[in-house]
């Protein structure tokens, strides 16, 4: 009994690990660091305010129904017409051709790096892909305009000087590393046991890759696809340089077209008077672009969390 009393009395004394007084300096530092974190929150709030406020003014003058159902985009003509469909179609076609390049190539590169490459090859490939991802888009735009388009013409495709096809293909090249790195992360998270089990049952490398690793990493792979599509929708310079500047509903990739981003870029270059309807179109189109990419980013983030929850 006596010993018990002693320990009961001594324990709080001995285990008092907390600081005896509050350290204000430490609190101040935590506050300063939190303040740094607030910058990114303010950025998001800033983007939303910057887009929504002028857009509300825009939609006072142009009805939302006309904006989304109209098939003629001519904000600078008289009479002006604000149907956003041509820009949406242009964006869609560019994104489609970008996906034709980046989804299979990115996935193939990811499978190669995760399942086939030796560690040494991987150590070279990863930074090389980072470098590819770091090529400025203005350079790829130049490449699309002065190299890809002439090559397409040479192989007998009847493409114009400005065409959606070469822009889309160049965007696709830009996005191969995006698909490859996010997919490869997901494949790396697949437990080694699953592979070992399949090999023990006599599977070939092809079977392990396509029937074990890809299905097991599927949420991460889809996340990489969604992210790439979102990036393709938001890509500006390549499209601005190589796809031309005519807003028209054209599904034929040999024609020229304008995307949402290219419109914003082309209009924003000029010194547009603040408060004019022309100025406000930048924000209305920008808001549309932001909402589309925001939804896709959220889907992608969710999917990545899903495989992390399962495997990590």
* Residues 186 to 205 in contact with another protein, rule: CB under 8 A: 204-205
The answer to whether the beta carbons of residues 91 and 261 sit under 8 Å apart is yes
CA 21 to chain centre: 48
Only one of the segments 1-9, 135-143, 213-221, 246-254 lies at the binding site for another protein (rule: CB under 8 A); that segment is: 135-143
The answer to whether the beta carbons of residues 107 and 179 sit under 8 Å apart is yes
Site string for another protein, 142-171 (x = CB under 8 A): xx-xxx------------------------
Query: Which neighbouring-strand residues pair with 82?
Result: 73
Considering only residues 251 through 280, tell me which ones interact with another protein, judged by CB under 8 A.
261, 264-265, 268-269, 271, 274
Considering only residues 57 through 116, tell me which ones interact with another protein, judged by CB under 8 A.
104-109, 111-113, 116
Number of residues that bind another protein (CB under 8 A): 88
Site string for another protein, 208-247 (x = CB under 8 A): -xx----------------x--xx-xxxxx--xx------
Q: How far apart are CA 101 and CA 104, in angstroms?
A: 6
Q: How far apart are CB 79 and another protein at their closest, in Å?
A: 26
Query: Which neighbouring-strand residues pair with 238?
Result: none
Among 58, 82, 162, 283, binds another protein (CB under 8 A): 283
Q: Which is nearer to another protein, 3 or 274 (CB)?
A: 274
Please spell the DSSP secondary structure of 73-98, one letter per residue.
EETTSSS-EE--HHHHHHHHHHHHHH
- Torsion sign across C-alpha atoms 263, 267, 269, 274: negative
């Amino acid at each position: 009994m006596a010993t018990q009393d002693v320990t009961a009395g001594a324990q709080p004394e001995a285990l008092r690990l907390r600081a005896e007084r509050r350290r204000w300096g430490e609190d101040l530092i935590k506050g300063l660091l939190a303040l740094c974190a607030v910058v990114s929150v303010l950025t998001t709030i800033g983007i939303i305010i910057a887009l929504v406020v002028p857009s509300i003014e825009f939609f006072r003058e142009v009805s939302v129904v006309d904006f989304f159902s109209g098939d003629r985009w001519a904000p600078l003509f008289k009479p002006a017409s604000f149907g956003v469909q041509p820009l949406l179609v242009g964006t869609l076609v560019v994104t489609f051709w970008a996906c034709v390049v980046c989804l299979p190539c990115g996935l193939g590169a990811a499978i190669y790096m995760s399942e086939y490459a030796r560690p040494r090859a991987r150590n070279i490939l990863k930074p090389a892909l980072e470098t590819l991802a770091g090529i400025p888009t203005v350079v790829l735009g130049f490449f699309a305009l002065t190299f890809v388009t002439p090559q397409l013409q040479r192989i007998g495709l009847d493409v114009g000087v400005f065409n959606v096809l070469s822009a889309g293909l160049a965007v696709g090249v830009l996005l191969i590393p995006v698909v490859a790195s996010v997919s490869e992360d997901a494949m790396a998270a697949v437990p080694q046991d699953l592979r070992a089990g399949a090999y023990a049952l006599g599977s070939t490398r092809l079977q392990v890759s396509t029937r074990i690793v890809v299905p097991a990493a599927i949420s991460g792979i889809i996340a990489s696809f969604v992210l790439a599509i979102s990036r393709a929708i938001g890509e500006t310079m390549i499209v601005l340089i190589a796809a031309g500047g005519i807003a028209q509903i054209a599904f034929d990739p040999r024609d020229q077209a304008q995307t949402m981003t290219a419109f914003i870029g082309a209009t924003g270059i000029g010194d547009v008077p603040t408060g004019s309807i022309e100025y406000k179109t930048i924000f209305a189109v920008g808001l549309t672009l932001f909402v589309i990419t925001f939804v896709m980013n959220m889907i992608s983030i969710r999917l990545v969390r899903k495989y992390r929850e399962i495997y990590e």
